[in-house]
Amino acid sequence: MILAIDVGNTNTVLGIYKDGEMIAHWRISTDKDKTVDEYGILLKNLFSVENIDTKNVKDIIISSTVPPIVTVLEQASREYFGHFPLVIGPGVKTGMNIKMDNPREVGADRIVNAVGAYQKYKGPLIIVDFGTATSIDAVSENGNFIGGAIAPGIGISTEALFNYAAKLPRIELKKPDKAIGKNSIMAMQSGIIYGFVGQTEALIKKFKEELSQDSTVVATGGLVNLIAPETKMIDRVEPFLTLEGLYYIAKLNGIEG
């Protein structure tokens, strides 16, 4: 079995793969203050709930946008699973050329998403990730990562309204009954949900114009289910796209689950 770990700024998603199939998955809060033992015990407990023996894990692969956590997870992997994990970074085979001014500055999650999407749908592709930030990336027909756009995420924007507008409350992120809100909460929900739908559609349209080809649009991320149902411009929703990309990269680098 292979344990794939995707560390995001807000959440960490974990998945266990056996014979090419994901047999269990979890989403936990990302906490850079957790110790090695705290992460180790948490992972052990998650495995226990699913009645999975940690001894069956043959390798671990990690993608992280939070550098301080990588060292902690590396040590937890060694002490609690007996394996030194493969961490996505320079020198790791991904099977994808990064056609950027500075390839090293591209977040690991963006590359892994692109790899996962290309393996499933080939190119050209537009990948939308609704996470702490909203990232939209493009993959060419022949599988090159050619760039993208990054915008503040839905959660960040919602918190900004609460923190910087004195009379606006903190709200639940959900679709309002109508776009024309009859109170402050519904008005904020409308502005956030439909505003992000408009932003997403506008960027997808611009990307398609620049790609000059019919592209498959794949969406992922923790907040994907808020936006994807409200637009017809998203072709596929893949909640575990990053984990699937990690699994493919693991196999590409000789890791057998």
Task: Tell me which residues are annotated as active site.
Answer: 109
Q: Are the C-beta atoms of 184 and 161 separated by less than 8 Å?
A: no
Measured between alpha carbons, how far is residue 205 from residues 67, 176, 212 in Å?
33, 25, 11
Q: Are the C-beta atoms of 128 and 220 separated by less than 8 Å?
A: yes
Where are the strands (E) in 30-132, listed by range? 59-64, 86-87, 125-130
β-partners of residue 64 are: 7
In terms of DSSP bridges, do strands 2-7 and 11-18 run parallel, antiparallel, or are they unpaired?
A: antiparallel
